[in-house]
Amino acid sequence: MKASPSRFDQAVDHVLSHEGGFSQHPRDPAGATKFGITRDTLSRAKGRPASVTDVRRLSRREAVSIYRQLYWDTVQGDELPPGLDLAVFDLAVNSGPVRAVAMLQSTLQIEADGIVGPVTLCAVRAADVTEMIRRLTKARLGFLGRLATWPVFGLGWRRRVLAVEQEALRLASLASSSPRNI
């Protein structure tokens, strides 16, 4: 019998459904990307400067490993409730882990230092997950709407953020109705 996918596996599959193959859009300040991984991120993961060719050759498997180490683990996705884990993870992939955590903390109305620690986890456990997902979506769209590149990428970002919200709310609902939570 095959094991069911982990929450990380499900989240990364959802993120990758929005992140395409190789791209080097002239209006994208991140430059060359593949699977949403930029040259800067790939350089950090490799511990050396990455070239555009390195980005172009990035495998899905390597991208998933990078997402696990530099994004999911950084935002402590395994410690977040189902649904909120996806919302924070996708935000981290799109806008950086520190910004994602700071936005989460702001929606929790706690000090926004960008680091998931005991205070953040305690506040998350006490919060209404559905409400947190909705508030995080609103904050995220507000942030993206203020970016200079919104006129170029805004429609796609909005679609992505709303699709993530919909899936995150579905996951939160499933988790709250599962027998072990009753």
Give tens-digit pLDDT for 113-138: 999 999 999 999 999 999 999 999 99
Decide if 67 contacts 93 (C-beta within 8 A). Answer: yes
Token pair recorded at residue 135 = 């508030």
Cα–Cα dist 149/11, whole Å: 26
Cα–Cα dist 118/163, whole Å: 30
Superfamily of chain region 7-173: Chitosanase, subunit A, domain 1 (1.20.141.10)
Query: Tens place of pLDDT for every residue, the chain, 182 residues?
Result: 555 679 999 999 999 999 888 988 888 888 899 999 999 999 999 999 999 999 999 999 999 999 999 999 999 999 999 999 999 999 999 999 999 999 999 999 999 999 999 999 999 999 999 999 999 999 999 999 999 999 999 999 999 999 999 999 999 999 888 665 44
pTM metric for this prediction: 0.92
**pLDDT recorded at residue 106:** 97
Rg of the chain over CA atoms, in angstroms?
16
Residue 38, strand partner residues: 33
Give domain limits for the chain.
7-173
Query: Could you tell me which residues come within 8 angstroms of residue 48 by beta carbon, excluding any fewer than 6 positions away?
Result: none
**pLDDT recorded at residue 26:** 82
- Rounded to 5°, the CA angle 95-98-104 comes to 85
Closest CA to 144 of 133, 160, 167: 160
Number of H helices, E strands in the chain: 9, 2
Written in H, E and C, the secondary structure of 120-176 is: HHHHHHHCCHHHHHHHHHHHHHHHHHCCCCHHHHHHHHHHHHHHHHHHHHHHHHHHH
Residue 164, strand partner residues: none
Cα–chain-centroid distance for residue 69?
13
